[in-house]
Amino acid sequence: MSDSYDIIIIGAGVTGCAIARELSRYACKVLVLDKDEDVCCGTSKANSGIVHAGYDAKPGSLKARMNVRGNEMMISLVKELDIPFKQIGSLVVCTDLSLRGGIEELYDRGIANGVPGLRILEAPELRELEPNISDDAVCALYAPTAGIICPFRLNIALAECACQNGVEFLFDTAVTGVEAIPSGFKVITGSSEYNASVVVNAAGCHADEIHNLVSSVKYHITPRRGDYMLLDRSCEGLVNHVIFPQPTSLGKGILVTPTAHGNILIGPTAVDTDNRDEAPVTADGLAKVIEGSAKNVKGIPVKQVITGFSGLRAHEDGGEFILEEVSDCPGFFDCVGIESPGLTACPAVGEYMASLVADKLSLLPKSSWNGICHDVKKPFEMSESERAELISSDPSYGKIICRCETITEGEIIDSIRRPLGARSLDGVKRRTRAGMGRCQGGFCSPRVMEILSRELGVPLDSITKNGGSSKILFGRTKDES
C-alpha cells in the first residue's frame, strides 16, 4: 500500500467496483476506499435486486442510457463473474382502467429508450402468466429483458475481479477531505492521506458531501429510505415475473418479485429522510409494504416473512445520474445521485466512467487482463459426481453449517480465505448465504463465528456482525474481571 495512485475511487458499492473493474483493464494504479468494513455495505446491500428493462427513465437521460446499456451488458457479465441471475421479465400492472394511458406512456418511453421486446398484455394473457395477479388488473406492460440478480455477488464479484487485476481496497476508511495538489489530489482520511491524479466519487448517499468538498456548484442528496419484507422460499411460485405497480414521482413503487435465490421479496416504500447512514425498518413501512403489494398480487403469504430490511437510495435534487468530470475541478469525476436504476446501470456506468478517466490520463490497456471470477464452489449446486469428487478432495464441503440454505464449511472457509475475503458474519453471509435462511442465523451463526475465529486467528469475542463496534460477544463466562 503506497500513498500515490493514478486513481482513487471513493465508495465500494456496485458503482465504485464496476468502475474499478473497468479501470483494471488499463495499466494504472487504482485504490478503492470505503468507510465501511467491506464492499457492498451501503445501498448495494439493501435494494430490490432488479435488473430493470429501462422503460421507466426519461428518454435521453443518463438514467435511461445507462439502464439499457447496463441491462445489455449484464447478460455476459453474470457469466463472467458467476452471478446468480434470471431474466424472468417484468410486468407493470394497471389496476385502474382510467390510468391505462400511463402504461401506454411507459411503453412509448421504452421504445424511445431502445428497450427490446416490450408488449402491452391484456388481462386474459396477464392472468395466464400470473394466476395470482389482482382481480382488478386490466393490463400490463411486459418487458422480457428485465431480470433478478443477486446484488451481493454482483458487487463482490466486481470487486474480486478488480482485485485480481491489481486494484487495491481499503476499508474502514472514510474520506474526510479532498485537496487539490499539483499532481492531482490529496485524499484525506481519518488517519492517512493518499495522493491520486484522478478521484472518482462513487460515495452513494454521501456523494454530494464528497462532491461539495471540491466544487462551488453544490449538489444535494436526499436519502430515500425503503422498507422491504423477504418471504420464505416456500412461497416460490407466487409470481413468475417482477411485478410493478404504475410508477409515481417517488419511484417505481412497491413491487412483488421472486429473488435470484428463490425467495419472494415485497417492497420498497419511499420515505425521504435526512439520515444518510441509518435505515431502520419501521412498523409503518412494513404496513405500507403489505398494503401496497396486495394491490397487485392476491394472497401474498405475509406470515411467511423471514426478515425485513431497509435501504437508502441517493436521490439527487435533479433526479438524474450525474456522471461527469466536475467542471470547476478537473480530474475529479462524479457519480452522484445513483438511485434506481443504479444496480442495473452499474456495468454501463463502469464502462462510461472508466473511458472518461482513461481518456483523461491517456491510459494504455494492459497486455493481459482476467475478467473472469468464480464464486465460492457450491457442492449443492453441482452434479452428484462433481460434488462427490469435491467432498472427497476436501471433506469440509461435506459438513453443513447453514442448515436452512444447505451451506457447507468449505464454502465458508473459501469465502474467508479468498482475496477481499469475509471478515465478519455479514461478510460471510453476503458471500455464501449462510444466515439468509428461515432461521436467520439462529443455528449457524455460532458455528460461522467459530470458523471466522479459527481462520482469522482471532478470539471468538472479537468477531463482529459487520465490522466496527458490532461485536457479537462480550467476553467469556467466568471472566476474572
Partner 1 sequence: MRADIVVIGGGPAGLAAAISAARFDPSLNVLILERDNELGGILNQCIHNGFGLHTFNEELTGPEYASRFEEQLDGLGINYMLNTMVLNVSSGSVTAVNSNEGVFTVSCGAIVLCMGCRERPRGALNIPGLRPAGVFTAGTAQRLVNIEGYMPGREVVILGSGDIGLIMARRMTLEGAIVKAVCELMPYSGGLKRNIVQCLDDFDIPLILSHTVIDIKGKERVTSVVIAKVDSNSKPIPGTEQEIACDTLLLSCGLIPENELSRAADIKINPATNGPVVNESFETSVPGIFACGNVLHVHDLVDYVSEESSRAGKSAARYVSSSNTSVGAEIRISTGSGVRYTVPSIVRPDELDSDLIIRFRSTGVFKDSYIDVSFNGPKKIHRRKQIITPGEMEQVILKKEDLLNISGDICVAISES
Partner 2 sequence: METKELTCINCPMGCRITVTMSGSEVISVEGNTCKRGDVYARTEVVSPVRTVTTTIKVTGGSVDRVSCKTKTPVPKDKIFDVMAEIGAASCTAPVKIGDVLIKDCAGTGVPVVATKAVGVNPED
Using CB under 8 A, which residues numbered 233 to 272 contact partner 1?
234
CA dihedral over 260, 261, 265, 269, signed as positive or negative: negative
CA angle 14, 421, 3 (to 5 degrees): 75
Smallest distance, partner 1 to C-beta of residue 299, A: 16
Taking CB under 8 A as the rule, does residue 439 contact partner 1?
yes
Smallest distance from partner 2 to CB 415, Å? 26
CA atoms of 409 and 417, how far apart (whole Å): 12
Range in contact with partner 1 (rule: CB under 8 A) among 27-35, 69-77, 98-106, 380-388: 380-388
Which residue, 218 or 478, is less far from partner 1 as judged by CB? 478
Output 98 or 477, the one with its CB closest to partner 2: 477
- Residue 353 backbone dihedrals phi, psi, to 5 degrees: -65, -40
The stretch among 337-345, 387-395, 455-463, 472-480 that binds partner 2 (CB under 8 A) is 472-480
Phi/psi for 202 (5° steps) reads -125, 50
Q: Which residues, other chains included, contact 466 with Cβ-Cβ below 8 Å and sequence gap of 6+?
A: 36, 37, 38, 41, 424, 425, 426, 427
**Within 403-422, which residues bind partner 1 (CB under 8 A)?**
403, 406
Specify the stretch interacting with partner 1 by CB under 8 A; choose among 124-132, 140-148, 300-308, 364-372.
300-308
164: its cell numbers: 485480481
Let me know if 52 is a catalytic residue: yes
For partner 2, which residue of 135, 274, 384, 480 counts as binding (CB under 8 A)?
480
Nearer to partner 2, 384 or 479 (CB): 479
CA proximity to 226, closest of 160, 169, 311, 346: 311
Q: Based on CB atoms, which residue is closest to partner 2, 303 or 478?
A: 478
Q: Which of residues 383-402 bind partner 1 (CB under 8 A)?
A: 384, 387-388, 391-392, 395-396, 398-400
Contact region with partner 1 (CB under 8 A), list: 25-33, 249-257, 264-272, 463-471: 463-471
Nearer to partner 2, 74 or 449 (CB): 449
Query: How near is the Cβ of 261 to partner 1 at its closest, in Å?
Result: 15
AA identity, residue 39: V
- Please give the C-alpha separations between residue 251 and each of 7, 142, 148, 225, in angstroms, as whole numbers: 33, 18, 18, 12
Distance CA 333, CA 83 (A): 28
Compare residues 127 and 403 and give the one whose CB is closer to partner 1.
403
301 binds, among partner 2, partner 1, none (CB under 5 to 8 A by kind): none
**Alpha-carbon gap, residue 357 to 324, rounded angstroms:** 10
User: Do the bridges between strand 193-201 and strand 4-10 make them parallel or antiparallel, or are there none, so unpaired?
Assistant: parallel
Query: Total binding residues for partner 1 by CB under 8 A?
Result: 56
Backbone region of residue 295 per phi and psi (left: phi > 0; alpha: psi in -120 to 50; beta: other values): alpha
Select the binding partner of residue 480 from partner 1, partner 2, none (C-beta < 5 to 8 A, by kind).
partner 2
286 binds partner 1 (CB under 8 A): yes
319: left (phi over 0), alpha (psi -120 to 50) or beta: left
Could you tell me which stretch among 66-74, 88-96, 292-300, 461-469 binds partner 1 (CB under 8 A)?
461-469
Q: How far apart are CA 182 and CA 379, in angstroms?
A: 53
If one asks whether residue 440 binds partner 1 (CB under 8 A), the answer comes out as yes
Using the rule CB under 8 A, which residue among 7, 33, 230, 353 binds partner 1? Answer: 230
Beta carbon of residue 476, minimum distance to partner 2 (angstroms, whole number): 9
According to the binding rule CB under 8 A, does residue 45 interact with partner 1?
no
User: Which residue in 313, 309, 276, 41 sits closest to 172, CA to CA?
Assistant: 41
Give me Rg for the CA atoms of the chain: 22
Closest CB to partner 2 among residues 135, 479: 479
Long-range contacts of residues 442-446, Cβ cutoff 8 Å, at least 24 apart: 443/402, 443/403, 443/404, 444/401, 444/402, 444/403, 444/404, 444/407, 445/472
Span of 133-141, 251-259, 425-433, 471-479 interacting with partner 2 by CB under 8 A: 471-479
Does the protein bind partner 1 through residue 61 (CB under 8 A)?
Answer: no
Q: How far apart are CA 20 and CA 39, in angstroms?
A: 12
Which of partner 2, partner 1, none does residue 385 bind to, with CB < 5 to 8 Å depending on kind?
A: none
Contact pattern from residue 302 through residue 331 relative to partner 1, giving x for each residue in contact according to CB under 8 A and a dash for the rest: ---xxxxx----------------------
Show the cell assigned to 414: 473459501
User: Cβ distance 39 to 178 under 8 Å?
Assistant: no
CB 368 within 8 A of CB 25: no
Q: Decide: 346 and 158 in contact? Cβ < 8 Å.
A: yes
Cβ of residue 475: shortest distance to partner 2, in angstroms?
Answer: 13
Give the active site residue among 52, 206, 241, 261.
Answer: 52
Contacts to partner 1 by CB under 8 A: 229-230, 234, 277-283, 285-286, 305-309, 384, 387-388, 391-392, 395-396, 398-400, 403, 406, 438-443, 445-446, 450, 460-461, 464-479
Catalytic residue list: 52
Residue numbers at the binding site for partner 2 (CB under 8 A): 477-480
